[in-house]
Amino acid sequence: MSQQTTLAVVVPKFSEFVKHLPTVYDLAACDQEILRQLWSGLGYYARARNLNKGAKFIVEKLEGHFPQSYYEWLKIPGCGSYTASVIASICFNEKVACVDGNVVRVVSRLLGLSEDVWSSSGKSAIQTYVDQMIPEERPGDFNQAIMELGATVCRKSKPLCLLCPIQKECLAFAHNCVEICPPKKPRRDTVDVELFALVFWRKATDTVAIAHRTKGFLSNTVGFPLIPATEASEVKQVLQSLLHLQFLELSSKFSHNITHHRISGKVLVVQELENPSITTESVLWRELGLSQSFDWVPRSVVASKLSTSFDNKVFKLFANYK
């Protein structure tokens, strides 16, 4: 959970998570829908799927025995060099450095590195450097200490150099270049995106279609089908031709950011009338070019099925209209 996610957000989620799934066997056997609910609001949903994969790997291939080394943990799905180093050093006293964003910053300043610390080669060099510094005693505590130093003293903005225990050794402090060490992480320019979220509403049973999205934003998550705004007119034409349907484009837009995408969205409510024709769901889906499986869910329980913040926004607009 803590991968690329603020700890303050993680902690309460983690408590709830382990309360429901206290063992690796529970996690391995966990139903995807339950997993989605427990992960709801945390983002980067591939992490939740990998966590489940990793648990299955341990239960099925390792007979429930946890790996006991950095190298073996690296083979677990969702477990990269950072996570493997955390587990190996804290749980098994292995002398391997944890290189997260904090550690990159601390070392960048300590050594006065003002360029290329975020690339894979840059982080690899930092890994090698800190690996050499790990003491024999309590490697895990050492790793956590550097990370904590980065989080509290050697922080990104307004570092507390006057309180820093390694101020005397810090080249950035000595050369008065703490401001440019480390350089900012390179980031993609923000891209504006317009899209439509489709809310299929079967009035007769008061049910709503929830799709398993297979491509684009929020791929491999469950929620409302999404289409680029550029395809909206085409979809509307198809909808026009299907006489048992009527659609309504809600006037209010919603906005949402996904990584470097600034999304402006509108909700297209597609209502199935009281007396539907024989057109089947699969035909409807095929004609709309939505290659996604879906379930019809009672409107009253849709909210409990949704797991992304994006879908929550969409459903709120729909509920407001309804």
Partner DNA sequence: AAGCCGTGGCA
Partner DNA sequence: TTGCCAAGGCT
Residues in contact with DNA by the rule CB under 7 A: 2-9, 41-46, 50, 77-84, 100-102, 119-121, 144, 147-148, 151, 156-157, 184-185, 187-188, 190, 217-219, 221, 256-262, 308-310
State the minimum distance, in angstroms, from the CB of residue 162 to DNA.
19
Instruction: For residues 24 and 73, give the distance between their C-alpha atoms in angstroms, rounded to a whole number.
Output: 14
Instruction: For residues 145 and 150, give the distance between their C-alpha atoms in angstroms, rounded to a whole number.
Output: 9
Specify the 3-state DSSP secondary structure of 6: coil
Toward DNA, which CB reaches closer, 132 or 157?
Answer: 157
Toward DNA, which CB reaches closer, 178 or 218?
Answer: 218
Toward DNA, which CB reaches closer, 6 or 275?
Answer: 6
State the minimum distance, in angstroms, from the CB of residue 279 to DNA.
31
Toward DNA, which CB reaches closer, 45 or 294?
Answer: 45
DSSP state of 30: -
Cα-based torsion angle of the residue sequence 222, 225, 229, 235 in order, rounded to the nearest 10 degrees: 170
Q: What angle do CA 147, 89, 84 make, to 5 degrees?
A: 85
Instruction: For residues 269 and 61, give the distance between their C-alpha atoms in angstroms, rounded to a whole number.
Output: 46
Toward DNA, which CB reaches closer, 148 or 206?
Answer: 148
Q: Any residues with CB less than 8 A from the CB of 234 and at least 6 apart, and which?
A: none
Strand 222-223, strand 226-228: pairing: unpaired
State the minimum distance, in angstroms, from the CB of residue 31 to DNA.
19
Q: What angle do CA 60, 211, 274 make, to 5 degrees?
A: 140
Toward DNA, which CB reaches closer, 149 or 268?
Answer: 149
State the minimum distance, in angstroms, from the CB of residue 50 to DNA.
6
Instruction: For residues 19 and 41, give the distance between their C-alpha atoms in angstroms, rounded to a whole number.
Output: 17
State the minimum distance, in angstroms, from the CB of residue 34 to DNA.
17
Toward DNA, which CB reaches closer, 42 or 195?
Answer: 42
Instruction: For residues 60 and 238, give the distance between their C-alpha atoms in angstroms, rounded to a whole number.
Output: 47
Toward DNA, which CB reaches closer, 8 or 278?
Answer: 8
Bridge partners, 198 (sequence order) = 268
Instruction: For residues 154 and 281, give the distance between their C-alpha atoms in angstroms, rounded to a whole number.
Output: 57
Residue 152 falls in which region: left (phi positive, over 0), alpha (psi -120 to 50) or beta: alpha
Q: Position 313: which residue type?
A: K
Instruction: For residues 224 and 196, give the distance between their C-alpha atoms in angstroms, rounded to a whole number.
Output: 10
State the minimum distance, in angstroms, from the CB of residue 224 to DNA.
12
Please state the φ and ψ torsions of residue 271, each to the nearest 5 degrees: -100, 125
Toward DNA, which CB reaches closer, 19 or 187?
Answer: 187
State the minimum distance, in angstroms, from the CB of residue 294 to DNA.
18
